Structure 1
Amino acid sequence: MNNVAKLTISLVVYKPDLNQLNDTLTSLATSLDYAGSSYHIYIIDNTPQGVESGISTEYISRYFKYDEVTYSRNEKNVGFGGAHNQALDVQSDFHLIINPDLIISRDAISNAMLFMSSNERCGLVTPYATWTDGTIQRLCKQYPSVLVLLLRGFAPPFIKKPFNKLLNNYEMVGVINCDEVFWNPPMVSGCFMFFKTEVWKKCRGFDHRYFLYFEDFDLSIRAKQVCDIAYVPSVKVVHHGGYAARKGLKHIVLFFKSMVSFFRIHHWRWF
């Protein structure tokens, strides 16, 4: 992976929803065309060998030219962070990590590049995001407690209600809005992480101890030690993602395993 480009992008798929992936690749192509800078995309397929993923070089060529994309497939699922780390040796000014369930606005990439170029200390940009229905999805978070994570991920609404203030504080409601740049939120989501490539490399990417969940929080905490992080509302995305509890027992187990790893690596906060 030694292509030289202004921008590199890594996108990891695992048994992808091809309708969502179509939306992602279509919006990515539109945003890249609008930005007008050279780029190279790394699509890493974590779908195990022997299982049909629906992805191929022919599929990708519907959206991008052959020399604009490197497609690779792992023999087994190496995890979200492990797959993105296969793009650690990229040569570029900026590196974008995106999910395959994201719709990127036409000017999102150009606005992220402009903002980062105008703010020398900024090494990571996080966007303004909405859910599919248009409601705000809060990608910036305070450092969590075990109670907050359990409430947010697994509690029914009637149990959450008495803890609304606590949950709103965690999601920085009333602190971050859709109009103003906010500097250095404690943690940011991994669905769209726009890095200066030198920061991505200095952090050594995602921590291999996380297979899925919390690797983005861990990385943003480490990135904040070497650069400023900015929430930039002119960088807009729509994210289809969902909570672990809605994805079945396997995801719940992975969530708890990663949560324990996160608190052990950083520090425990129970309430």
Structure 2
Amino acid sequence: MHPLNSVVDSLSVSVVVYRPDVRRLMLTLESLVAAYTVLRETHPAITLDVFLVDNGGLPDMAAAFRALNVPGASWWIIAGQGNVGYGRGHNLAIERATARYHLILNPDIDVGRQALVRAVEFLDAHSQVGLLVPRIGNDDGDIQYLCRQYPTLLDLFVRGFLPVPFRRFFARRLARYEMRDVINERDIVWDPPIVSGCFMLYRTTVLKQLAGFDPRYFLYFEDYDLSLRTHEVARVAYLPAVRVLHHGGGAARKGFAHIRMFISSAYKFFNRFGWKWL
């Protein structure tokens, strides 16, 4: 079941879950609704479609949706496909999306109350921008440097797997990779090469032109791939006035299965875009 009519003044959101922490998911959805409520104050006609893609293990959310119900918002569950992976899960929602803008959102994000209104106003004013990404904070509120230069294998190893005390030997290298010289709390950054998939606000036309995520990635690097392909058709903007908090962790902290998926996806990524070792 999905919306049938394209709506100009509209926003859709996709969230992919697999055996989710329901409490954490609800906090994410509550923050999304709060930000949408603020957006409605300046855009009273704007509608919201939230697609919750169940890759497995999602409990009955009917009561939760009733509690989250606000004017203009509709909730949709996409289920029955099994665990098809992160990118393919979002693609199921992207195929159904008819809104002007589409937000790819992780279930471990707290959306700032002013985030949507600032993001939509920026996109409305900059027609050349096809993808907007926010200032991303961690649990302590410190900035996460999730805009990236094109990676080398050494960058990925140091950033993803090297124990923190040893990373100081590669501080200058990591700073370059994480674009610490330009990513800050104040300045708009135009066209960062790679951005994080935890919050990607697209013009839906651009996202559909790209056919969403490459389904060959089960998990990891699908956002790297999509970022690079986006530059071929539209501009990308980092807008620090849009703020979110990210509660996620890296592959190395999630066990061997995630490390294996990380390595597999990295191989596919470098095979497609080119290998850089050091």
TM-score normalised over the length of structure 1: 0.95
Question: Separation in 2 of the partners of 1:103 and 1:181?
Answer: 21
The residue type paired with residue 88 of structure 1 is I
Residue 77 (structure 2) aligns with: 71
SS at match of 2:187: coil
**2:162 paired residue number:** 155
In structure 2, the residue matched to 1:17 is 21
Aligned length: 267
Correspondence 1:1-271 to 2 at 5 A: 1-3=2-4, 4-5=6-7, 6-36=10-40, 37-47=46-56, 52-64=57-69, 68-89=74-95, 90-271=97-278
CA deviation profile, 1:97-148 (whole Å, cap 9, x unmatched) = 1000000001101111100110110010000010011111112100000001
Q: Which amino acid aligns with 1:64?
A: N
Contact in 1 for aligned 2:48/2:73 (Cα 8 Å): no
1:45 aligned partner, one-letter code: D
Amino acid at match of 2:152: S
The percentage of counterpart residues that share the same residue type is: 40
Q: Contact 1:8–1:95 (CA<8 Å) still a contact in 2?
A: yes
Please give the secondary structure, in 2, of the residue aligned with 1:88: helix
- SS of aligned partner of 2:31: helix
How far apart are 1:252 and its partner, in Å? 0.6
* Residue 2 of structure 1: how far off its partner (Å): 3.3
In structure 1, stretches of 5+ residues that fail to align are none
Shift of 1:232: 0.4
**What is the CA distance between 1:158 and its match in structure 2?**
3.4
User: Does structure 1 retain, via aligned residues, the 8 Å contact 2:84–2:218?
Assistant: yes
Q: Distance in 2 between matches of 1:107 and 1:75?
A: 34
Letter of the 2:11 partner, please give it: L
Give the deviation of 1:55 after TM superposition.
Answer: 4.1
Please give the alpha-carbon distance, in whole angstroms, between the structure 2 residues aligned to 1:84 and 1:183.
Answer: 25
CA contact (8 A) 1:142 1:169 kept: yes
| Backbone CA RMSD of aligned residues | 1.4
Conservation of the 8 A alpha-carbon contact between 1:57 and 1:71 = no
| Cα 1:174–1:38 shift into 2, 3 Å | same
8 Å CA contact 1:44–1:73 kept in 2: the answer is: yes
Q: Normalized against structure 2, the TM-score is what?
A: 0.93
- Give the equivalent residue in structure 1 for 2:43: none
Are the equivalent residues in 1 in contact too, given 2:11–2:99 (CA < 8 A)? yes
Whether the aligned pair in 2 keeps the contact of 1:108 and 1:235 (CA below 8 Å) is yes
